[in-house]
Structure 1
């Protein structure tokens, strides 16, 4: 999500929305107290929360993906749970299951870790497809159905799934149908030299990633701020020309010679939702073509699939999306 670098701008005609934007704007500074150099990823997470979406985080081990989500939940004062996805993990270990209670002689539902606000699905591609699929209803319907009964999940609810981009041995790649459920795919980069020096200094001075409160992380926004922000995002205006631009971008991916699978209509609606959230965060009540361009790569990169010959030539999905952005006319 390196495309988004503009600082968040405060200001809104409505006092509630202005207060919510100001609170969410403080998140990056709060997370930066313990996670260095990941402002763009934090912004992407906020966009996903505002758009009621989910996020796929891709980065090599050791770039603080887990710490970032834990810190974000602490700064938002939201409940957080982590599931380590392994080959022997069962669907009931994620969603919950019925347990026989000998005292009442009845089956009782024991909630799984999905009953939270922020769920970290760590190394999601290390668990078999059956367990991966247990998240489909959770992500789309925000509920768990067991034995004919549906149990709603808390609101807000976001799945942040991680995967390693270089180690594929013993993994189960997510199918396209599940990848399409993620609003954004964010790459978590390695820190710069100066940022890495800052990390070492913090650890040398006694920083413990398991003790965020001692590191000074405090709640700066709440679920109420997110609710106000979501309501304001719904009111963001989008001109017909911008809507047509989103459609043209997605349709261009379907005819790209480098792709065997282009973005679906769900990809277009996801790009619209992400662009509206970003426009509101930057202090506007309307979407511009630049908002669409800024979110095109993180919103579409996991929804398209390269042809094998393009992969052999070293082409990446981001290369193809850059070409699409360069060739599709931008509305004036």
Structure 2
């Protein structure tokens, strides 16, 4: 009756151990929907891995993680002098590591909490958050007036672009060294294993700590399977009406009602980063199918993705199977192709 994520526990755990063993200083990233697993479950699994720090996306996620993981909690969203950043439970203050990306925010943070722990984020080609080289140097001078500050490190959040990041990282590290900051720890995101190895070799006096999310939790895709339950089956003839909007069947066949709808993220598509000709052609093709009432669903039966009969409902979807295709039984499980970071599962079953 559910949209279920089934996990081959032995294979998944072996992958997690492998990543932890080959990435010294690992900081697992837990954020959003926890890559489909929930942040609470990943917090417990991080403790099992033996790491000392995890990264959460926002301050609002702290309560979901803090009771399930005993170590430090690095917040990736930059600290601001308003909102949830000012509402952290005092009991957690000693464990929370803030991210600072503006010089005046650092001044406000130290005024509000002189013993605050924090990392300084250096602006990268992502152009999202962070200090410029000039700001980083100014911050270094500012910290000289606060000898007791608890600067935990520098953060570099790099893009997912193809090609090597080493040229950019080298320029950024030159800024870090020149700023003469009271830290020799650098947190990095989205570097390959080869790039991490080279970075450690080039800056042997720095501790390089990789923050890893997707390739840690979702790296063993063959250990993950998403299924939906067939809830009902109805035979229809051409012209029969069905659904919320009384659509008519284009030809004879069967309607399948399966678990999984918009409340789970089914049928909701995030913008794609692929700008190639093939991706654009696929977008146009989907638009054409939508215009005539046929949209391919993420549900697969006998290895073939089936069409939505109408837009997905909140917790279920209706599929159309033309005559001549095998009709699943009520209660049968069918495979679903999903984007894990945008899907809320009813059940997560780890063997």
**TM-score normalised by the shorter chain: which range applies?**
under 0.3
- TM-score, normalised via structure 1 length: 0.26
Greater RCO (CA < 8 Å, at least 6 residues apart): 1
Q: Between Structure 1 and Structure 2, which shows a larger proportion of strand residues?
A: 2
Give the TM-score taking structure 2 as reference length: 0.25
Determine which structure has more spread, i.e. the larger CA radius of gyration.
2
User: Which has the larger helix fraction?
Assistant: 1
